[in-house]
Amino acid sequence: MAEIIILASRDELSYLMINHLAKEFEIAQVVFEAPHTGKMLKYRLKKLGWWKVAGQLAFLVYDRLVIRRQSKPMIEHLLAGRDVSPPDGRLPVMDVDSVNGESVRALLAEKKPSVVVVSGTGIISKKVLALAPTFINIHVGITPRYRGVHGGFWAVYEGRPDLAGTTIHRVDPGVDTGAIIAQMPIPVTSEDTYRTLPLKQYLAALDAMSTAVRDGLNGTLTTYTRDDLESQQWYSPTPGEYWQFVRQMRNLTGH
C-alpha cells in the first residue's frame, strides 16, 4: 500500500489540513516539528538586522493583544464545522526536534512513503528530500512573488489583493521555490485581518491538496512555473508595514 506521511508544525492550520486529508487517505504517520524560536531569531538578526527584528517583535505583541481579539468572531465563523483539533490518538503521531533529524530519516527509510505532505516546518534538507519521491507543501502565498511568511498580508500591502492566495508546490531545498502544483486565489474583504487571511488561504487549498496527494499516489502529478512574477522572500511585518496594510485595506474597501 502506498504510504502518506505528514511533516507539520503544531498549530491550528496544520491540524485543519491533517484532519481534512485523514477523511480521504490513510495516514501512515504524522510528525510534528518543535518550534525553533531561538534559531529563527538568530537567523533574522543576521539577515535583517536588529532594528528590523525589534520592529517585528513589537508587531507580534500588538498582534497578540489586539489583532487576535479583533479577528476572533470572523475566525470562529470561518471554522464553523471544521475539525481543528490535534490528531493525537486518532492518527500515529511523533514529535521531533527537527524534520531533518535521524528519527525522521529512519522513519522515511522504513515506510518508503509515496507522498510526504509538509505544513509549517523549517527548510527540509536534501538528505531528507532524497528519501521519498514526492514532497508536497501547502504555502499561504502566491509564489514566486510571495515566498516566506504571510503571503496574503504582503499581497495586500503591495496593493495586489488579486495575488492573495495559496500555492501547493513540490518541495525543494529552497524557501517555497519548488515547482507549482496548484494556486488558489482568495477574496479579500473589509472584514479581513492579518489573522483571517492565512486561514482563508488554507481553507481555499484543502480540496486542491487532496487532489495533489491523490495525483502523487497515482504518479500523475503535474507542475508548472510562473515567469510573470518576480521572486521575493518575505518576513514578519513591523508596525509601520502593518499600518501600510491597513491603509491598503481602506483603499480596497472604500473606507
The model's pLDDT over 144-167, given as tens digits with 9 standing for 90+, comes to: 999 999 999 999 999 999 999 999
Q: What is the mean pLDDT of residues 53-76?
A: 96
Helix (H, G, I), strand (E, B) or coil at 137: strand
The number of angstroms, rounded, from the C-alpha of 241 to the middle of its chain's C-alpha atoms is 21
Domains and CATH numbers, the chain: 4-253 (3.40.50.12230)
Q: Is the pTM of this model over 0.85?
A: yes
Q: Strands 165-170 and 180-185: what pairing? A: antiparallel
To which residue does cell 514532497 refer?
135
**DSSP assignment string, 104-119:** HHHHHHHH--SEEEEE
Give pLDDT tens digits for 1-49: 569 999 999 999 999 999 999 999 999 999 999 987 777 778 788 888 9
Q: pLDDT tens, 232-242?
A: 999 999 999 99
State the pLDDT at residue 222: 97
Please choose, from the candidates 202, 208, 155, the residue with its C-alpha nearest in 3D space to the C-alpha of residue 181: 208
What does the longest C-alpha to C-alpha distance in the chain come to?
57
Query: Does residue 144 have a cis bond before it (omega within 30 degrees)?
Result: yes
What residues have CB less than 8 Å from 232, skipping those under 6 apart?
Answer: 144, 145, 146, 147
Residue labelled with grid coordinates 522572500? 233
Instruction: Count CB-CB contacts under 10 A for residue 245.
Output: 21
Angle at 128 between CA 123 and CA 132, to 5 degrees: 120
